[in-house]
Every structure is written in structure tokens, then in C-alpha cells.
Amino acid sequence: MLTWMVDRRARLSPAGDQGGRLTCLSWSITAAHEFTVSDGPFSVEYLHWGSGQYPGGRGTVLAAAEALRSDGQPENDQWPYMDVNDDAHPGYLPPSTVTGPFSKATVRLSGVDVDNLIRDLASDRLPVIALRVTDAFLAATGGVIGPDGRGADGHAVAAVGVAQYTGLQDLGVVHHNDRLVCLRNSWGQGWGVDGHALITEAALAECAIGSFVIDPI
């Protein structure tokens, strides 16, 4: 009953887990970077650290974009992600194992409407979506997120596909011909279905803040 208009999950590694750290932006950008250049896995930790060296600081698109453009990312095994870490500690520095090479890319603003997400995915770009978290997003019951207000607290995820529900009967919040965007989160395999969930077009319109894509240098 789902017709996939575009689906990029097969080209991606399993969804990761940021743990209790505020690193969702680095996780999402890394997934988009790996997808765009067909390489990796890249170091989420290095991108997160590097973002702290630029105006805006960690957790902001401006700083992450500059870190990705100027410094890039090494392979993940040079600095694997740490589940627990004090980002503010003076000793939070790249280890001696970080030697490169460094893959660099640029960030380009895009549109968060479903038609634009389809175009980006079809052109081999993985959109990173900034959104506000709703209760429905937190639960992702059955792997589906329906409308639940504007939400609160900013978060970043990657859009990895778009499907259309072709069933004739309503399934909860999903109706005939609804389009759903498949989101890849960084909260581990227990969120949604294997770390992914489908969000309805109406729900996305309510809670979305913006979207951008990664272009290789």
C-alpha cells in the first residue's frame, strides 16, 4: 500500500545513535556527506569538534557548514564517535590518529516542501531537515509521525525517501494518496523502525524549520 517515489535507504549504513549528546546536526550532515560522495564512513566526532572552531559554534548550521567546507571530515576510524564526552573540556581535541585525508563539501540551502525533497533525492542529494520535535515525533508509533502541532526544541534529521500511500482505507493519521517523507534519525535502532520513520506531509509542514543539501568540492 506504499508506493515509493524515491528511496535511498539501500545506499546508507544503519542509522546511528547520538546517545545523550547534542550532535544530531553532525550525524545528519555526515550521512548526507557520505551519500553525496559515495565514500566514508566519515567521523561524526571530527565534524562536531570542528564546528566549535567557527562562529555560531556547535549545533549551528553556519558553523558546521564552515567546518565541512574548510576542514572536511576524515574516515571514521581515525576518530570514532564517543557516546559520552564533555565537549566543553579543554582536552576535547582530535587525537593523533586524525591524519586525513579530509573529504570536504559545501552546504546549500534548499526547500523543505515535499516536491523539493523529491527533486533533491532524485538528483543524488540527501536533504538535511531542521525541525521542531513534537510528541508524535518522539514516539514515532508504528514508524509513522502524524500532525501534532509545531513542536519545540530544534533537531536535525536526514530525508532518505518519499512514499505515497495508495490504500483506499485510512490508516490512523495516513489517508489515501498522502505523501510521506522517510526520515533517518540519530537516536538508535529503537526509534521508529530501525531508526527511520515516515512523517506525513501535513506533520512536516507544521514542524519543519528548513532544509539544506551537501555538494561535494
In the prediction, which pLDDT does 212 show? 98
b/e string for 100-138 if b means 16 or more Cβ within 10 A? Answer: eebbbbebeebebebeebbebbeeebbbbbbbbbbebbe
How far apart are alpha carbons 133 and 149 in whole angstroms?
Answer: 9
Which residues have C-beta within 8 Å of that of residue 156, sequence separation ≥ 6? 24, 25, 27, 28, 29, 128, 129, 130, 131
Query: Based on the number of CB atoms within 10 Å of its own CB, is 139 exposed (0-12), middle (13-18) or buried (19 or more)?
Result: middle
In the prediction, which pLDDT does 141 show? 94
**Spatial contact of 159 and 113, defined as CB atoms under 8 Å apart:** no
N-term to C-term CA, the chain:
40
- Going from the C-alpha of 189 to that of each of 16, 82, 140, 184, 215, the distances in angstroms are 7, 17, 12, 10, 28
**Spatial contact of 99 and 87, defined as CB atoms under 8 Å apart:** no
In the prediction, which pLDDT does 190 show? 96
Residue 74 has what DSSP assignment?
-
CA dihedral 141, 147, 151, 157 (to 10 degrees): 60
How far apart are alpha carbons 34 and 73 in whole angstroms?
Answer: 10
**Which of 34, 20, 16 lies closest to 188 in space, CA to CA?**
16
Give the β-pairing of 144-145 and 196-200. Answer: parallel
In the prediction, which pLDDT does 209 show? 98
Which CATH number describes the domain made up of 2-216? Answer: 3.90.70.10
Query: If the chain, 217 residues long, is cut into consecutive pieces of 10 residues, what is the mean pLDDT of each piece?
Result: 96 95 98 96 98 97 98 98 88 96 98 98 98 98 96 97 95 95 98 98 98 97
Collapsed DSSP state (helix, strand, coil) of residue 206: helix
How many residues in the chain?
A: 217
In the prediction, which pLDDT does 83 show? 86
